[in-house]
Amino acid sequence: MTGREIENLIKLLSRLPGLGPRSARRAVLQMLKKPEMLMLPLADSLRATADAMTTCSNCGNIDVTDPCHICADYNRGPDIICVVEEVQDLWALERGASFKGQYHVLGGTLSPLDGVGPDDLKIDQLINRARADEVTEVILATNATVDGQTTAHYITERLIETGVKVTRLAHGVPVGGELDYLDDGTLAAALRSRSVV
């Protein structure tokens, strides 16, 4: 139907979450109709972002600077660290704009069935950060999945030696629900009414 380059573009786009082959086809068609307005700026933006992107060596967030703009923001309090599984969870919490502390991205959950252990996650880094004097509280905002809850339990045990206060997001996070799927109001409420483990 179309040339190889276009088919390839459709194929690549359809691998993005939320885009099936049909919507990828529609997106490509839209770009082909307006190359100057959409396609070239998108290509430039993709290239620039790919060149600049980096993982924050402090918290694990993905950004274009290291430390990331959250870690570098002096308006944010240093005393509370919110622990999330993935960058998408950090973004979900930031979307709600109700949390003004630090983050720590684990990079997943403990999952023996997928071969993921403590050494595969940024848990040692978290323990180190929690030892700092200015840190008074660690909020565990892992998902309400079985692995997410087990990971929270494990981190709680590991944090005992640091003496820091450990809290969990309040109920209202549905079982098996992932943070990214929650609306901002629910997330903010869960954060406000967190409870000590």
Task: Give the residue with the Cβ less far from another protein, 41 or 176.
Answer: 176
Minimum distance of another protein from residue 150's CB (angstroms): 5
Integer Cα distance of 130 and 118 in angstroms: 17
Minimum distance of another protein from residue 151's CB (angstroms): 8
- Is residue 93 near Zn ion by the rule CB under 5 A? no
Task: Give the residue with the Cβ less far from another protein, 20 or 185.
Answer: 20
Residue 138, helix vs strand vs coil: strand
Place of tokens 């919110």: 82
- Positions touching another protein (CB under 8 A) are 14-15, 20-21, 110-113, 117-118, 146-147, 149-151, 153-154, 157-158, 175-178, 181
Q: Are 71 and 159 in contact (CB under 8 A)?
A: no
Q: Are 39 and 64 in contact (CB under 8 A)?
A: no
Task: Give the residue with the Cβ less far from another protein, 75 or 195.
Answer: 195
